[in-house]
C-alpha cells in the first residue's frame, strides 16, 4: 500500500507540474529510445500478460517461440516485465548473437523488470514506450493478456490499417482465448461496415509457432522492398535489415 501511495503522489505531482517540464521528459523518452534502438536490426515484439505464471502453457509457448526466433537471428523485444514478457525474454536470452530487449515502465503494481534482458530501457510514459515497441519491429506477436495487451493489439492494427506502418504482420497466439474476440470483429465490426475485409485479414490467429517463424522470415525481403520504395533505403534500419538478409543468405549457402 505504501508503494502505491508513493506512486500515486508521484503521478499527481507530474500532472500538476509545469507543462514545459513534462515536454522535456517526453522528449527524453523518445531520444533515449531512438538512440538505443535505431540500429537493432530485425526484431520481433512479443506482447502478453504480466500475470501469466511460469506453469501456464502460454508462458511455455512464448518462451519456445522467442527461442525459435532467436535461433533464426531475430532480436526479441518485450515490455520488460514478468509473465509472457519474461517468458519471451527468457527464450531469447540464451542466444548470444541476438538482443533480448525489455522496455520497462514505472507502475504501482505488476511491473518489475525480468532478469532475462540483454538490453533494457525504462520509460516515463506509456505512449513513448509503445512507439518504441512497434517502431523498430518487423512483426508483432500477441499472446493472451488483459487491457494493456488488448490496447497494444488494437494500436498495432490501427497503425497498419492507416498505413502508418507497412509490411508488418500481426500474429495472435491463443485460438481458444482470442476466438470470441475475432468473431466479434468479424460479426460486428466487419458486418456493420466499421472495418473492411482487408482489416479483418490483418489478424493471423494461430497456435502454430513454426508457421509464425516461417512467415516472419519470408516477410523480411518484403519489408526491405517497401522501405526502398518509400525512399527509406538509406536509413540505418533498412541497412540493418539488408545486412541481416545477406548474412543469412551466406550462412544458408555454407550449409
Q: Buried b / exposed e across 171-208, counting CB within 10 Å, b at 16+? A: bbbbeeebeeeeeebeeeeeeeeebeeebeebbbbeee
The pTM of this model reads 0.85
Residue 106 belongs to domain with CATH number: 3.40.50.450
By three-state DSSP, how is residue 101 classified?
strand
Q: Could you report the per-residue pLDDT of 160-209, keeping only the tens digit for each? A: 999 888 889 999 999 999 999 999 999 999 999 999 999 999 999 999 99
What pLDDT sits at residue 1?
46
Residue 179 is predicted with a pLDDT of: 98
Is the residue at 158 inside a domain? yes
Does residue 87 form part of some domain? yes
pLDDT digits (tens, 9 = 90+) for 72-96: 999 999 999 999 999 999 999 999 9
Q: How far apart are CA 40 and CA 43, in angstroms?
A: 7
Locate 253 and state its grid cell: 549457402
Report yes or no on 227 lying in a domain.
no
pLDDT at 204: 97
pLDDT surpasses 60 at 2: no
d(CA 172, CA 153): 9
Which of 181, 194, 182, 212 shows the shortest CA–CA distance to 64? 212
226 belongs to a structural domain: no
For the segment 231-247, what is each residue's pLDDT rounded down to a tens digit?
Answer: 878 877 788 788 777 77
- In the predicted model, what is the mean pLDDT of residues 106-112? 61
Structural domain that includes position 46: 41-208
238 within some domain: no
| Domains in the chain, number | 1
Amino acid at each position: 500500500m505504501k508503494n502505491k501511495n508513493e506512486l500515486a503522489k508521484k503521478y499527481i505531482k507530474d500532472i500538476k507540474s509545469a507543462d514545459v517540464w513534462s515536454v522535456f521528459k517526453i522528449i527524453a523518452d523518445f531520444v533515449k529510445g531512438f538512440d538505443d534502438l535505431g540500429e537493432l536490426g530485425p526484431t520481433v515484439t512479443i506482447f502478453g500478460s504480466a500475470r501469466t505464471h511460469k506453469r501456464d502453457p502460454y508462458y511455455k509457448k512464448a518462451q519456445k517461440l522467442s527461442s525459435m526466433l532467436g535461433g533464426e537471428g531475430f532480436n526479441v523485444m518485450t515490455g520488460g516485465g514478468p509473465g509472457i514478457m519474461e517468458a519471451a525474454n527468457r527464450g531469447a536470452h540464451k542466444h548470444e548473437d541476438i538482443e533480448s530487449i525489455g522496455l520497462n515502465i514505472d507502475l504501482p503494481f505488476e511491473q518489475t523488470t525480468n532478469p532475462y534482458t540483454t538490453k533494457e530501457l525504462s520509460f516515463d510514459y506509456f505512449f513513448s514506450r509503445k512507439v518504441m515497441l512497434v517502431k523498430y519491429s518487423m512483426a508483432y506477436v500477441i499472446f493472451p493478456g488483459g487491457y494493456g495487451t488488448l490496447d497494444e493489439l488494437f494500436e498495432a492494427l490501427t497503425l497498419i490499417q492507416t498505413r502508418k506502418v507497412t509490411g508488418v504482420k500481426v500474429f495472435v497466439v491463443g485460438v481458444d482465448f482470442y476466438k470470441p474476440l475475432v468473431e466479434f470483429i468479424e460479426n460486428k465490426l466487419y458486418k456493420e461496415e466499421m472495418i473492411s475485409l482487408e482489416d479483418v485479414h490483418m489478424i493471423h490467429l494461430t497456435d502454430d509457432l513454426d508457421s509464425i517463424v516461417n512467415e516472419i522470415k519470408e516477410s523480411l525481403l518484403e519489408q526491405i522492398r517497401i522501405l526502398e520504395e518509400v525512399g527509406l533505403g538509406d536509413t540505418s534500419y533498412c541497412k540493418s535489415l539488408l545486412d541481416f538478409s545477406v548474412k543469412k543468405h551466406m550462412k544458408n549457402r555454407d550449409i
